[in-house]
């Protein structure tokens, strides 16, 4: 409102957050906004219904765009109307001028209208190829045999159909690759590792669709002895696959179901989740009076949401959301559903600090009774600092690093940043570019140290202070020791990164300093709450509902 933005480009996930807050804004406050454009992830129309109910679809207009890096950005356009069917339509519209769309089968033959085929893109928007990746070029950038004019086309890997009105509808991916919490994962590779375990006969890994989102992975394993379910499967996986590819839930089953034609019966397999995910303990709880009859509608609503997200039949008052399979993405959806159903302003940190059903019900009830605005709500409790006064003295420079972390989000990078300060003056302030450069060493701390050494013409940074938005990993702390930096100030802890689904914890700073045998003063938790909020913002923007 303050900047009078006229054209707003958003991912559907980010827009959902924004639309919730704009419900508090008078309609006249959006008079300058002409267009809201969606891209970056599939658009499910049901998330727009509250917006349409309040603002209609004429001003501003809403459009859905299909965009690919390999085609220089947006290549299709669809005007979204309130009168359209909303359930999982995912219509991407019609091609823009000079863009050619082709739907083909596995033999690269055109399919008929209404049939599902893989989407290929032709025209001048198609990129020249991937830099230094000839094999990928051969698989994705192909000669356009349909036009037969020597032009090229790009194989997207997306599946779609052409509707009777000439628009295209996205239906999914051609391969089994899935995106979970921002990471692309090949389930087949996880299955292969599971099958190497001595107790496993066969395994299937599928996207774990919970409450309408791909919340994680579910593994189904056939064992030599069903009653001897191996407790060490996740440890076995962690030795070979990255943390984000380890299934959130593992089910022991008697056999892999098949269709009449001998293919994997995915629907039957997924149906087993509700049966196998109910433990003997939870089956006993089904005979109890459902929690919420004494605590009122708030507790009953929260239990209902938990059951939906965790695929349980009932939840006991003392059960922990995370012990039952909750993780960062489910926590985000829990927060969104509480906001929508109860109208309560709540953060993910509030859930982390009130993990049981009883604790969260009491917290939400108290929050609703207080009926305070978000600006008046007490912030999440800070951890006790070893020396709070020291952290307070570093706030000004930590804000510089956090500002860079916000810039990282704007550039599509995770919210990590660092700055180096010498004699009270900021020498270098950078955010990480790991995703952009595909460089695992491009951590913000390492990049800042490299740049400071270059600027000063020395590798001795003993008179500098390093500020990091997160607890430095072992590589970054080793670089710190190498540069003789004597003081490190950080904001978020490793446990915060793990809670919000950004990374798994590694060697803590205190342990690493001891191993390095260096005199390094560590000042933790500087503006930690602010970084927790930024982590949540990042997760809200990047959690993809595919």
Active site residues: 445
198, 208 Cβ separation under 8 angstroms: no
Q: Per DSSP, what are the bridge partners of residue 155?
A: 120
Within 10 A of 140 (CB to CB), how many other CB atoms are there?
Answer: 19
Q: Could you give the CA distance from residue 438 to residue 436 in angstroms, rounded to a whole number? A: 6
**Contacts of 93 by beta carbon, 8 Å cutoff, 6+ apart:** 63, 64, 65, 66, 76, 77, 78, 79, 167, 168
In angstroms, rounded to a whole number, what is the distance separating the alpha carbons of residues 120 and 112? 15
| Three-class secondary structure of residue 358 per DSSP | helix
Pairing assessment for the beta strands 168-173 and 152-162 based on DSSP bridges: antiparallel
DSSP letter assigned to residue 291: T
Q: In Å, how far are 195, 252, 266, 276, 278 from 272, measured between CA atoms?
A: 20, 10, 10, 6, 10
Tell me if 90 sits within 8 A of 43, measured CB to CB: yes
Show the 3-state SS of 115-145: CCEEEEEECCCCCCCCCCCHHHHHHHEEECC
Q: Are 314 and 503 spatial neighbours (Cβ–Cβ below 8 Å)?
A: no
- Whether 160 and 169 have beta carbons less than 8 Å apart is answered as yes
User: How far from the centroid of its chain's Cα atoms is residue 465's Cα?
Assistant: 32
CA pair distance 420, 380, nearest whole angstrom: 28
DSSP string, 201-263: EEEEEEEEEETTEEEEEEEEEEESSTTS--TTHHHHHHTTS-GGGS-SEEEEESS--B-TTSS
Contact status, residue 419 vs residue 467, Cβ threshold 8 Å: yes
């Amino acid at each position: 409102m303050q900047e009078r933005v006229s054209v707003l480009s958003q991912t559907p996930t980010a827009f959902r957050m924004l639309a919730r807050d704009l419900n508090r804004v008078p309609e006249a406050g959006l008079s300058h906004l002409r267009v809201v454009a969606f891209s970056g992830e599939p658009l499910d129309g049901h998330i727009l219904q509250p917006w349409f109910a309040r603002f209609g679809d004429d001003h501003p207009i809403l459009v859905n765009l299909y965009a690919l890096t390999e085609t220089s950005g947006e290549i299709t356009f669809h005007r979204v109307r309130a009168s359209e069917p909303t359930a999982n339509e995912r219509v991407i519209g019609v091609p823009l001028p000079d863009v050619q769309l082709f739907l083909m089968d596995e033999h690269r033959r055109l399919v008929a209208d209404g049939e599902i085929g893989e989407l290929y893109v032709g025209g001048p928007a198609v990129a020249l190829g991937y830099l230094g990746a000839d094999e990928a070029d051969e698989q994705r950038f192909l000669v356009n045999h349909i036009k037969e004019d020597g032009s090229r086309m790009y194989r997207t890997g997306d599946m779609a159909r052409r509707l009777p009105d000439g628009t295209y509808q996205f239906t999914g991916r051609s391969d089994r690759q899935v995106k979970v919490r921002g990471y692309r994962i090949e389930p087949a590779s996880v299955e292969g590792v599971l099958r190497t375990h001595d107790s496993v006969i066969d395994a299937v890994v599928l996207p774990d669709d919970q409450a309408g989102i791909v919340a994680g992975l579910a593994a189904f394993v056939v064992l030599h002895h069903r009653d001897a379910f191996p407790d060490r499967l996740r440890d076995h996986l962690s030795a070979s696959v990255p943390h984000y590819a380890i299934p959130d839930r593992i089910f022991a089953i008697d056999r892999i179901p098949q269709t009449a034609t001998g293919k994997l019966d995915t629907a039957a397999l997924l149906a087993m989740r509700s049966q196998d995910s109910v433990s003997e303990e939870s089956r006993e709880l089904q005979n109890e009076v459902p929690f919420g009859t004494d605590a009122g509608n708030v507790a009953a609503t929260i239990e209902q949401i938990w059951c939906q997200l965790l695929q349980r039949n009932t939840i006991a008052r003392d059960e922990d959301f995370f012990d039952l399979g909750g993780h960062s993405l489910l926590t985000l959806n829990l927060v969104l559903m509480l906001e929508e159903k109860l109208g309560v302003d709540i953060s993910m940190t509030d859930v982390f600090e009130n993990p049981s059903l009883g604790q969260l019900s009491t917290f939400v009830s108290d929050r609703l009774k207080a009926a305070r605005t978000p600006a008046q709500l007490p912030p999440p409790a800070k951890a006790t600092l070893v020396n709070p006064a020291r952290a307070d003295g570093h706030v000004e420079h930590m804000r510089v690093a956090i500002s860079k972390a916000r810039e990282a989000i704007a550039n599509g990078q995770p919210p990590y940043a660092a700055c180096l300060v010498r004699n009270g003056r900021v020498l270098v302030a950078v955010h990480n570019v790991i995703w952009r450069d595909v460089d695992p060493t491009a951590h913000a701390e390492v990049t800042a140290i490299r740049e400071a050494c270059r600027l000063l013409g020395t590798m001795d940074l003993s008179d500098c202070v390093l500020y990091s938005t997160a607890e430095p990993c072992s590589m970054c702390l080793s670089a710190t020791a190498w540069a003789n930096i004597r003081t490190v100030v950080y904001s978020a802890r490793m446990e915060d990164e793990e809670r919000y689904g950004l990374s798994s914890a590694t060697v803590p700073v205190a342990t690493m300093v001891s191993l390095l045998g260096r005199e390094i003063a560590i000042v933790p938790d500087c503006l930690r709450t602010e970084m927790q909020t930024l982590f949540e913002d990042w997760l809200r923007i990047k959690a993809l509902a595919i």
